């Protein structure tokens, strides 16, 4: 993928060890607070997307790994917490998206739009049929996210593809009055495009998060949204950037 620019921001894939280290530093700041590196063995298997502002400062990042149509999803990061046996039956290549984070204090929605536009270029290029990953709520206290999690019941994955339980520290999605305002921006974007979620959430104390497995069949993205995202990549191709 070529670097993709929209307004003040440019998204690109990491090309060096320094790029990965910068992403790990931002992840540590976003998930754990303070200086340090958030790193694990999956970093060596993944591509890393970085979003920088006009000064070159890193404002967002995520990592991604593409699995072929016949690949075993049980080797993915998400499979540490969810049984993906049924999800693997969904035909075609799949892309796992993880460790998505924004620099603390930055809330510009254009960053997320740019990331989705860049991901669309990658998805189209690899013929990916499904995007999946763990989508996190900041803070490992389930009660803190109960109202937001209660809004997810109408988005549960079809049984034939539903992720099963694997993590010990898990709980069923709560019921009752829901409040979508508590949903993370990435999860709101997923749901607006037709994503499914697991019927349970996992508590990740090491990352200080609660997360759900999210899966987005590419074919379910509303046509108008898909055209808008593809247009971001088309603009750069037209200008040769």
On the question of pLDDT at 238 being above 80, the answer is no
Torsion of CA 4, 5, 11, 15, to 10 degrees: 60
The closest alpha carbon to 82, from 153, 145, 162, belongs to: 162
On the question of pLDDT at 210 being above 90, the answer is yes
Angle at 94 between CA 89 and CA 97, to 5 degrees: 125
Measured between alpha carbons, how far is 174 from 201 in angstroms, rounded to an integer?
Answer: 9
Torsion of CA 178, 183, 187, 193, to 10 degrees: 50
Across residues 142-164, what is the average pLDDT? 96
pLDDT of amino acid 70: 82
Q: 58 forms bridges with which residues in the sheet?
A: 52
Measured between alpha carbons, how far is 125 from 240 in angstroms, rounded to an integer?
Answer: 17
Hey, what are 192's tokens? 């607006």
* 34-57 confidence digits (pLDDT tens): 999 999 999 999 999 999 999 999
* 118-130 confidence digits (pLDDT tens): 999 999 999 999 9
On the question of pLDDT at 176 being above 90, the answer is no
Measured between alpha carbons, how far is 235 from 186 in angstroms, rounded to an integer?
Answer: 24
What does the DSSP 8-state code read for residue 57? -
**Whole-prediction pTM:** 0.94
pLDDT of amino acid 237: 56
Span 4-239: which CATH code?
Answer: 3.40.630.30
Task: Give percent above pLDDT 70 in the chain.
Answer: 97
């Amino acid at each position: 993928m070529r670097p993709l620019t929209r307004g003040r921001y440019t998204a690109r894939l990491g090309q060096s060890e320094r790029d990965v280290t910068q992403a790990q530093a931002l992840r540590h700041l976003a998930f754990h607070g303070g200086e340090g590196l958030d790193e694990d063995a999956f970093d060596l298997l993944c591509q890393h997307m970085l979003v920088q502002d006009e000064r070159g400062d890193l404002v967002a990042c995520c990592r991604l790994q593409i699995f072929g149509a016949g690949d075993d999803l049980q080797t993915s990061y998400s499979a540490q917490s969810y049984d993906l046996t049924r999800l693997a039956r969904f035909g075609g290549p799949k892309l796992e998206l993880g460790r998505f984070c924004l620099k603390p204090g930055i809330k510009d929605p254009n960053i997320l739009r740019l990331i989705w536009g860049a991901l669309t270029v990658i998805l189209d290029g690899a013929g990916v049929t499904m995007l999946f990953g763990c989508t996190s709520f900041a803070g490992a206290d389930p009660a803190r996210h109960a109202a937001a999690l209660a809004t997810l019941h109408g988005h549960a994955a079809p049984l034939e593809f539903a992720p099963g339980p694997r993590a010990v520290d898990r709980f069923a999605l709560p019921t009752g009055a829901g409040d979508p305002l508590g949903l993370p921006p990435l999860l709101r974007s997923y749901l607006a495009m037709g994503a499914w979620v697991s019927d349970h959430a996992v508590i990740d104390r090491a990352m200080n998060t609660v997360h759900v497995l999210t899966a987005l069949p590419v074919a379910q993205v509303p046509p108008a949204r898909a055209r808008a995202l593809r247009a971001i990549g088309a603009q750069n191709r037209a200008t040769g950037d």
